[in-house]
């Protein structure tokens, strides 16, 4: 969905915030469009600095609100044990990339609704400020992007940001998977049916229906002479259609292992390093012996704490290896590296850390390490299910 290259802006709670190259296209178009609007509001001739400064500030505010929207998804996901690989801003807004799917309809609903709630809060705050400062009439004119509105440039910017965020809110709540509204629809269908696969098929079908509607409406606008908006709407429809079709394909694959749990196929005899072990012993007794690139680390109660990678152990100076402890080298696991042993096996399809490390740690309800589930085991389960289906 996103382009190959992206630029890292900063990190928030360990989450990488990046921008795709396509983001700069929208940034340029928003500034170009708003410069003319603010010229009319301020009564300044074209080419003066005031309208341009307001346009740049508005563009930054718009993408800031998109980022807050995605951070709403991300922070709720983290609170529910779902890791976030990064947040990317791109030509059609933003996306928080989850490292795994939600394991329950309740979690799916909370993560999906978090972004729209943040956007709703932004709309309410901006609208309240605008109404108090300008009054209903002029502020309403400014919200309709009318250059004749009798407001200051600052209030016009607040009005535009309130308007664009309201449109983002309404658009995102359409039940077109994989948009927020579609994910909310999937969570509700999942809750009612108790079946993730059928709920995904339902939401993806809704998404494709809306995608065709957007494409048709976009082509109609192009025919009517509204070329830019028409092309934009049609492109959004094409993106939604592609994502919905991909969800349907993945659901068809995952349905082969429907009913299977992680515990059904995992290795129940994992090799783990105690957190109190010295780095020297870890290198000698684990890395040199087994030749694996990483090992799970557990505490005295066998609770999974995180992974120790060979590179981090090697980076410890040799004189310090006998006193340095394994537990000092790992980062606290935030749910990205482990999965419940009772989790549906199909919930691991598309898991980014399973692809990255080749395995995830399976834990019980108390967080104790019970096994290791590998990408090879998941693939074998899929192949066995496909063979049995065709026999």
**Domain final position from 258, 280, 306:** 258
What is the per-residue pLDDT across 160-212, written as a single tens digit (0 to 9) for each?
Answer: 899 889 989 999 999 988 899 999 999 999 999 988 888 999 999 999 999 99
- Residues 253, 377, single domain; the answer is no
Contact 90, 146 (CB under 8 A): no
Residue 277: the pLDDT is 96
| Strand order across the beta sheet in which 294-298 lies | 273-274, 294-298, 304-309
Q: What angle do CA 106, 107, 113 make, to 5 degrees?
A: 90
Residue 257: the pLDDT is 80
Residue 279: the pLDDT is 95
Contact 264, 377 (CB under 8 A): no
Domain count, the chain: 3
**Domain final position from 144, 173, 202:** 173
- Residues 281, 341, single domain; the answer is yes
What is the per-residue pLDDT across 321-362, written as a single tens digit (0 to 9) for each?
Answer: 999 999 999 876 656 788 889 888 887 877 778 888 889 999
Q: Give the pTM.
A: 0.74
- Residues 254, 267, single domain; the answer is no
Q: Which domain holds residue 136?
A: 1-173
What is the per-residue pLDDT across 48-104, written as a single tens digit (0 to 9) for each?
Answer: 788 888 899 998 999 999 999 999 999 999 898 887 878 988 877 888 888 778 888
Query: Which whole-number Å values give the CA distances from 342 to 101, 223, 265, 266, 346, in the listed order?
Result: 14, 54, 11, 11, 12
- Residues 314, 386, single domain; the answer is yes
- Residues 73, 216, single domain; the answer is no
What would the 3-class secondary structure string for 256-284 be? HHCCCEHHHHCECCCCCEECCCEHHHHHH
Residue 189: the pLDDT is 95
Residue 47: the pLDDT is 61
- Residues 333, 368, single domain; the answer is yes
- Residues 246, 291, single domain; the answer is no
Asked whether the predicted pLDDT for residue 6 surpasses 80, the reply is no
- Residues 69, 169, single domain; the answer is yes
The Cβ of residue 219 has, within 10 Å, a number of other Cβ atoms equal to 15
Contact 237, 223 (CB under 8 A): no
- Residues 68, 159, single domain; the answer is yes
Q: Does 69 or 256 have the greater pLDDT score? A: 69
Residue 154: the pLDDT is 84
**Domain final position from 123, 143, 173:** 173
- Residues 382, 271, single domain; the answer is yes
- Percent of the chain residues past pLDDT 70, beyond the cut: 93
Strands (E), the chain: 6-12, 15-20, 84-90, 93-98, 273-274, 294-298, 304-309, 338-340, 359-363, 369-374
- Residues 10, 112, single domain; the answer is yes
- Residues 370, 287, single domain; the answer is yes
Q: Exposed, middle or buried, 369 (CB in 10 Å: 0-12/13-18/19+)?
A: buried
What is the per-residue pLDDT across 267-317, written as a single tens digit (0 to 9) for each?
Answer: 999 999 999 999 999 999 999 999 999 999 999 999 999 999 999 999 999
Residue 1 — pLDDT band, cuts 50, 70, 90?
A: very low
- Percent of the chain residues past pLDDT 90, beyond the cut: 47
């Amino acid at each position: 969905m996103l382009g190959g290259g992206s630029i890292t802006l900063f990190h928030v709670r360990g989450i990488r915030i990046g921008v795709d190259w396509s983001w700069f296209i929208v940034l340029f178009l928003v500034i170009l469009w708003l410069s003319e609007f603010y010229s009319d509001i301020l009564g300044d001739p074209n080419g003066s600095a005031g309208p341009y400064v307001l346009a740049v500030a508005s563009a930054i505010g718009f993408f800031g609100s998109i980022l807050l929207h995605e951070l709403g998804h991300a922070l709720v996901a983290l609170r529910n044990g779902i890791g976030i690989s990064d947040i990317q801003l791109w030509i059609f807004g933003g996306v928080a990339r989850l490292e795994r799917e939600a394991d329950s309809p309740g979690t799916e609903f909370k993560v999906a609704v978090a972004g729209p709630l943040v956007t709703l809060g932004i709309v309410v705050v901006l609208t309240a400020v605008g109404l108090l400062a300008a009054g209903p009439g002029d502020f309403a004119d400014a919200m309709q992007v009318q250059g004749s509105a009798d407001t200051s440039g600052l209030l016009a910017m607040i009005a535009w940001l309130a308007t664009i965020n309201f449109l983002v809110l309404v658009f995102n709540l359409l039940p077109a998977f994989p948009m927020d509204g579609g994910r909310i629809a999937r969570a509700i269908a999942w809750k009612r049916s108790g079946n993730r696969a059928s709920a995904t098929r339902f939401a993806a079908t809704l998404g494709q229906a809306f995608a065709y509607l957007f494409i048709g409406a976009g082509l109609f606008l192009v025919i009517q002479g509204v070329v830019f908006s028409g092309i934009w709407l049609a492109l959004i429809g094409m993106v939604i259609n592609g994502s919905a079709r991909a969800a349907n394909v993945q659901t068809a694959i995952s349905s082969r292992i429907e009913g299977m749990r992680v515990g059904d196929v995992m290795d129940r005899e994992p090799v783990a390093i105690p957190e109190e072990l010295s780095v020297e012993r870890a290198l000698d007794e684990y890395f040199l012996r087994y030749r694996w690139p990483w090992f799970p680390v557990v505490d005295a109660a066998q609770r999974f704490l995180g992974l120790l990678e060979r590179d981090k152990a090697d980076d410890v100076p040799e004189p310090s290896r006998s006193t340095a402890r394994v537990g000092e080298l790992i980062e606290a696991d935030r749910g990205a590296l482990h999965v419940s042993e009772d989790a549906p096996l199909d919930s691991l399809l598309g898991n980014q850390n399973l692809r990255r490390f080749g395995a995830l740690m399976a834990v019980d309800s108390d967080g104790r390490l019970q096994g290791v589930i590998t990408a090879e085991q998941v693939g074998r389960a899929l192949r066995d299910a496909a063979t049995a289906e065709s026999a």
